[in-house]
Structure 1
Amino acid sequence: MNGNHKDNDQELEQAIMTFQVITDTHVTADPQHVHNRNLDRALKDIIAVSKDSIGIMHVGDVTDHGFEREFTELHRILSENEDGLPKLLYAVGNHDVGLGVWEKRISKFLTETGMSAPYHTHWIKGYHFIFLGTEKGLQNFCDLSEEQLKWLDGKLSEQASLDKPIFLFLHQPLMDTVAGSYVEQDWYGVTQDEPLRAILAKYPQAILFTGHTHWELEAEHTMADGQETMPAMFNASSVAYLWTDDDEHKAGSQGYYVEVYADKVLVKGRDFITRRWIQEAQFQVEYKQ
């Protein structure tokens, strides 16, 4: 596997499939809140630009607190954009389940999103999509049980081939990998960091998308390329608001369009406010044939 910035040549080859990756929408109870309006903008952009999308992969912090009224707002926004809207699949974020009684919070999240469990798997057009998620209501970190890690190892091995990507989604990034995850930035967050790395190291053909940090896609280390020893990892930024390498809040809304080809995957950063591609965040992950 090889990861690099995509060149400017127009892609003439037809993609096998396309999908989007969004995260950290932080929907609030206020219909006019900027977070809610940003999600509406993002969905409208996806509907207009990617009519053949097989799905939107949401990497967590769907809501700001996991409250009933916030989920009501989420469903309103989805309903108002249902014409042409791709199916959404969700990872769980700390804002969704980090307050209150864990059992009640995770039950609420799963009911509202339609997901089967904190971690789940899907086969789409012959490609494996695997979602991981915390099993404790921690403030920032995620906690993956030994059972989940064993499940992950087994799922990654299913029909695995070095020339075919496996798509992984987890809210929190591994430490010192992508933008915002460095120790001094304090936004990494997997309790089982080393055990998870050990499993992922066996599947360098995987691509891991994470959220949590809100770091803008123009930042350094938006992509961490494993160079055949670890999966490529991507910081997916945030739909609600952004963060910078200067450790400052920034208004904005970003995400990824992903195009899958027989020998490569293009990961294309998108600004949902300006409805333009982010030139600093156009990546290509190549696979040996």
Structure 2
Amino acid sequence: MSRRVFLRWLLFIGALLIGASAYFSQKVKKTFLSGSQVDPSTAAADPEPSSTAESTEMPQTGPLLSYFILSDLHVSVGDPQTKSKLRQALDDITHFDSPVDAIIMTGDLTDTGTERDYKELHTIVNEYKLPPVHANMGNHDYYTIWINQDNSWDQKAVPNGKTDALSREQFMKFFGYSKPYNEYKVKNHTMLLLSQEAYVQEKPEVGEGAWYSDDQLAWFKASLKANYVPGRPLFVMTHQPLPVGDTNGATHQLIRAREFRAALKPYKNVFVFCGHRHMDFQNGVAHYVQETFHYFHNSSVGRPLNKAYQQEVKHKSQGLYVQVYADKVVLRGREFSNRTYTAEADWTIELQKANA
């Protein structure tokens, strides 16, 4: 055998041995590797799950939505304290250590509803870089009829050349609304803001109560139906509180209360907020009542009151901070004067699941 032929024969035998070795190596791996283990030689064939897919599957642990409810600001050119307190609140909110996606003002934005009080409110709000601000009307936002041309209180001359329609127009112009009651959506959650639609110039019988028209109540019922999502909270803002029990309200209350409660009855996880009472979170009065819905009475930014409706502690200024999670809603009373939470106003409401 020549040397050249011998070398070719050795190369052929070597190739056979390498192939056999690889074959038996794969057989051994298939036999002894458990089903939960991955053969490193074939791992690249299975694509790695993307980071996007992983983040989609992981539950969100933080709040889905966070916002403030500010009630009864009572901003007035003639009352420096109300202006100072609103600035305290807005300064706290703009430097807040948690997210704030919106600010909701639930009525009595001004003390007299006059053009000059609205200008004062506009000046203060424009001093801060704020999230979206929305509002409804309270009884004091109709008070311009009590004010004469000299900007003095003149009860004898009511309506002092003014109308309730003028009050509504001033409010709608300030917020850019086409009607006094509105729907606001933020981060897939709905807020329905109901507004008092008449005062004593048009309807003397309502007194300081909140009168809602047939049109507003029809809108309210339709909006509840259209926006309700099982398992998700829905928020309703009023100004005047509901009367106790199955009755309609009168002055200082929501007048068509039976119809309002009946509209809410079919739905779970509805949260209703009112202002008007000005009750200090720390005076022992109940601020949360559970009906077929969760009912909260806010305090006041401009003038918190004690049980006897007195401004006992004039430095206080309070509001509600609301955080919405996938399975609960957390509500905390905020004292703006010293930037702390009030222990007496701290609630966690578990949400009823969609299939419950």
1:29 is matched with which residue? 77
Cα shift at 1:248: 2.7
Cα shift at 1:188: 4.4
Question: Which amino acid in 2 is paired with 1:203?
Answer: Y
1:231 is matched with which residue? 293
Cα shift at 1:162: 3.6
Cα shift at 1:286: 1.0
Separation in 1 of the partners of 2:94 and 2:225? 34
Deviations 1:187-236 (CA, angstroms, capped at 9, x unpaired): 7411111111111222232101100110112232201112xxx2101111
Cα shift at 1:116: 2.9
Moved more, 188-197 or 47-56: 47-56
2:135 is matched with which residue? 90
Is the 1:176–1:188 contact (alpha carbons within 8 Å) kept by the matching residues of 2?
A: no
Which aligned pairs between 1:47-196 and structure 2 lie closer than 5 A? 47-49=94-96, 52-82=99-129, 85-100=130-145, 101-138=163-200, 139-176=207-244, 188-196=252-260
Separation in 2 of the partners of 1:95 and 1:268? 26
Is the 2:114–2:143 contact (alpha carbons within 8 Å) kept by the matching residues of 1?
A: no
Looking at CA atoms only, which structure, 1 or 2, has the larger radius of gyration? Answer: 2
1:215 is matched with which residue? 279
Normalised to the residue count of structure 2, the TM-score between the two structures is: 0.71
Separation in 1 of the partners of 2:76 and 2:286? 30
Cα shift at 1:161: 3.0
2:64 is matched with which residue? 16
Separation in 2 of the partners of 1:69 and 1:98? 13
Question: Which amino acid in 2 is paired with 1:17?
Answer: L
Deviations 1:86-133 (CA, angstroms, capped at 9, x unpaired): 111011111012442111111011112323311110221111110001
Is the 2:109–2:138 contact (alpha carbons within 8 Å) kept by the matching residues of 1?
A: yes
Normalised to the residue count of structure 1, the TM-score between the two structures is: 0.86
2:47 is matched with which residue? none
Question: Size of the alignment, in residue pairs?
Answer: 265
Is the 1:174–1:188 contact (alpha carbons within 8 Å) kept by the matching residues of 2?
A: no
Is the 1:217–1:235 contact (alpha carbons within 8 Å) kept by the matching residues of 2?
A: no
Is the 2:111–2:143 contact (alpha carbons within 8 Å) kept by the matching residues of 1?
A: no
Is the 2:114–2:144 contact (alpha carbons within 8 Å) kept by the matching residues of 1?
A: no
Do the aligned partners of residues 103 and 247 (structure 1) sit closer, same or farther apart at CA in structure 2, a change above 3 Å counting?
Answer: closer
Separation in 2 of the partners of 1:66 and 1:93? 10
Deviations 1:232-257 (CA, angstroms, capped at 9, x unpaired): 01111100011122443232210011
Is the 2:268–2:352 contact (alpha carbons within 8 Å) kept by the matching residues of 1?
A: no
Separation in 2 of the partners of 1:187 and 1:15? 38
2:264 is matched with which residue? 200
Separation in 2 of the partners of 1:156 and 1:223? 22
SS in 2 for 1:76: helix
Moved more, 129-138 or 15-24: 129-138
Deviations 1:65-90 (CA, angstroms, capped at 9, x unpaired): 011111111111111123xx111101
Question: Is 2:329 aligned against 1:265?
Answer: yes
Moved more, 17-26 or 129-138: 129-138
Structure 1, gaps ≥5 residues long: 1-11, 178-182
Do the aligned partners of residues 244 and 143 (structure 1) sit closer, same or farther apart at CA in structure 2, a change above 3 Å counting?
Answer: same
Separation in 2 of the partners of 1:154 and 1:248? 40
Is the 2:324–2:330 contact (alpha carbons within 8 Å) kept by the matching residues of 1?
A: yes
Separation in 2 of the partners of 1:274 and 1:220? 22
Separation in 1 of the partners of 2:295 and 2:84? 28
Structure 2, gaps ≥5 residues long: 1-59, 146-162, 201-206
Is the 2:278–2:300 contact (alpha carbons within 8 Å) kept by the matching residues of 1?
A: yes
Do the aligned partners of residues 50 and 210 (structure 1) sit closer, same or farther apart at CA in structure 2, a change above 3 Å counting?
Answer: farther
| Sequence identity percentage | 29
Specify which structure has the bigger relative contact order, considering alpha-carbon pairs within 8 angstroms and separated by 6 or more residues.
1
Question: Which amino acid in 1 is paired with 2:289?
Answer: A
2:346 is matched with which residue? 282
1:5 is matched with which residue? none
Q: Which has the higher helix share?
A: 2
